[in-house]
Structure formats: structure tokens, C-alpha cells
Amino acid sequence: MSVRYERVGSAAVITIDRPERRNAIDRATAEGLLRAWRDFDADSTALVGILTGAGGYFCAGVDLVALDLVEQPEGWLGHTRAAVSKPTIAAVAGYAVAGGLELALWCDLRVAGAGAVFGCYERRFGVPLADGGTQRLPRVVGLGRALDMILTGRPVDAEEAWRIGLVDRLVPAGSELAEALRLAEALAAFPQETMCSDRRCVYEGLGRPLEEGLAVEAAAARWVLSEAVAGAARFAAGEGRSGAGVEPG
């Protein structure tokens, strides 16, 4: 199998397992990724999804040797036009380039090991960004930096990626998955209904006028009010004072 699905604590770890091809995506792998993310979303006990790659690589994009991908409503690479209802983290080692960058951008958070490399390498071969890169990259790093990466196709090392906000956590090489799992458990410790509701509001508000976004937020907040009331009662009883229990960084 070119995609592995494993449960580790509160997380589901989805691994692209084609290291001999730098985890490049062929048709079977794309289909496996879509199945894995559907399995994650359907599993009520898996609270955070982690995407990673085997053999010291994240993903080198489309397998240009096999070149057997077929466009589906969910995207060329399997799931990049689909959505899940719970937080996702990319644990990046080695190359996350071309479609691999687009897969990392699909995730909510990105943890990278030192030595990771990002880039729109498909620029060299006339392959378009077709799995969300032109839309998600500007939202993550801003218009100017996104256009620089998209137009030049240049490599962006892990340090620069962290500096421009493409990466949320920069860790020693080889520890990216461990850090993603630690972060997943920190997220899993929070009240889930409110966290997932807030996450959904962020995405639903993108591109809307402020007034519409505020209406989305207000409606969602009313749905999770009971969880907020319970949390306020815990705080009043002395829990969580001075920021105790908040993810440190």
C-alpha cells in the first residue's frame, strides 16, 4: 500500500509510503489519500489528522513518470478540494515541493524539520498548480511572497519557510512527526466542539465581507454555547488560571 493509516493516541497518522519515488503521487496513491482522509473524518475517536511521508521525504508532487492521475471532484492528488471537520497537521521532512507543497498547504498547520525544502518546482516543466496552491499559498504567506514562489519556482528552505509563516513549527531534523504528535495531543485536550467550530468559521469567513464573516461566527457561537458555559464554570472553580493548559508554542 502506498498510503498507510495508523492511529497514534488521539491522532490519525496518514503516511505517503513511496520513498523510492520521493513519495510522488500516482493514481493509486491519490485514491489512497482520499480514502484515508474520509476514514479520519468518520472516526469520532481520531481528533487530529497528521499527514507525513516515509523515508525522509514529504512529497515530491505528481509522479511525472507514471503520469496516470485523473482529475476528480476532490482534486488531482486525492483530497485537495475536499474538506474534513477536524484539525490537520503536515509533518514535513525533506522535500515538500510541487504537489507536495499543495498537500502541506491543505493542512491547517505545518511542522517542518530542519533541512525541509518547499517550492513550486512544477514551474520548470510547465505543470500548473491545480491542487490549491494558487489559492492557499497567498492566504498563508501573503500575495507578494506567494507570487515570488509561484513565478520563480525557487526552493525555500525550512528556515525561510518558518520566517515567512509557511511553517508554524521548526524542529530538528527527524523530530517533525514527534512534534506533530505532541501538538496533536495538545489540541485533543481542548473542548472539541468549540475548537472545531472556530476552525470552521475561519475557513467559511475567508473572502467574505467582514459583516458576513461576523454573522458566520455569531451563528456558530450560538451552537456551541453549552460547551462555553461548562468551560466558564470550570474556570470559575479555579481551573486554568494564568493560562495553564494552553499550548506553549
- The pLDDT tens digits of the residues spanning 94-107 come to 999 999 999 999 99
Percent of the chain with pLDDT over 70: 91
Would you place residue 244 in the very low, low, confident or very high pLDDT band (cuts 50, 70, 90)?
A: low
Residues 140 and 222 in one domain: no
pLDDT, tens digit, 9 for 90 and up, residues 182-231? 999 999 999 999 999 999 999 999 999 999 999 999 999 998 877 666 65
| H helix or E strand, kind and range, residue 29 | helix 27-42
| H helix or E strand, kind and range, residue 18 | none
Task: Tell whether the model's pLDDT for residue 243 goes beyond 90.
Answer: no
Residues 32 and 100 in one domain: yes
The whole-angstrom separation of Cα 29 and Cα 23 is 9
Q: How many domains does the chain fold into?
A: 2
Would you place residue 2 in the very low, low, confident or very high pLDDT band (cuts 50, 70, 90)?
A: very high
- Extract long-range pairs of 227-232: CB within 8 Å, 24+ residues apart: 227/191, 227/193, 227/194, 228/194, 230/191, 231/191, 231/194
Residues 122 and 200 in one domain: no
**Owning domain of residue 202:** 192-243
Please indicate, yes or no, if residue 248 is contained in any of the structural domains: no
> Of 188, 203, 227, at which residue does a domain stop?
188
Please compute the mean of the pLDDT values over residues 165-176 and round it to a whole number.
98
Residues 122 and 165 in one domain: yes
Q: Which of residues 175 and 239 earns the better pLDDT score? A: 175
Contacts of residue 191, defined as CB under 8 A and 6 or more positions apart, other chains included, come to: 227, 230, 231
Please indicate, yes or no, if residue 249 is contained in any of the structural domains: no
What b/e sequence results for 55-67 when a residue is b if at least 16 CB atoms lie within 10 Å of its CB, and e otherwise? eebbbbbbbeeee
| H helix or E strand, kind and range, residue 60 | none
Residues 52 and 27 in one domain: yes
The whole-angstrom separation of Cα 89 and Cα 201 is 18
pLDDT at residue 226, rounded to an integer: 75
The whole-angstrom separation of Cα 181 and Cα 210 is 34
The whole-angstrom separation of Cα 103 and Cα 101 is 5
Three-class DSSP category at 215 = helix
In contact, 46 and 7? CB cutoff 8 Å: yes
Task: Tell whether the model's pLDDT for residue 63 goes beyond 80.
Answer: yes
**CA nearest to 168, candidates 153, 155, 152, 186:** 186
Q: How much is the mean pLDDT over the chain?
A: 94
Residues 49 and 114 in one domain: yes
Residues 179 and 56 in one domain: yes
Task: Tell whether the model's pLDDT for residue 240 goes beyond 80.
Answer: no
Q: Which of residues 162 and 235 earns the better pLDDT score? A: 162
The whole-angstrom separation of Cα 157 and Cα 164 is 11
Residues 157 and 79 in one domain: yes
Task: Tell whether the model's pLDDT for residue 170 goes beyond 80.
Answer: yes
| H helix or E strand, kind and range, residue 22 | none
Please compute the mean of the pLDDT values over residues 123-143 and round it to a whole number.
97
Task: Tell whether the model's pLDDT for residue 28 goes beyond 60.
Answer: yes
Task: Tell whether the model's pLDDT for residue 246 goes beyond 60.
Answer: no
In contact, 146 and 138? CB cutoff 8 Å: yes
Rounded to 5 degrees, what are φ and ψ at 19?
-60, -25
pLDDT at residue 225, rounded to an integer: 77
Percent of the chain with pLDDT over 90: 88
Please compute the mean of the pLDDT values over residues 5-15 and round it to a whole number.
98
The 95-97 sheet, strands edge to edge: 95-97, 117-119, 156-157
Positions annotated as catalytic residues are 102, 122
Residues 46 and 97 in one domain: yes
The model carries a pTM of 0.92
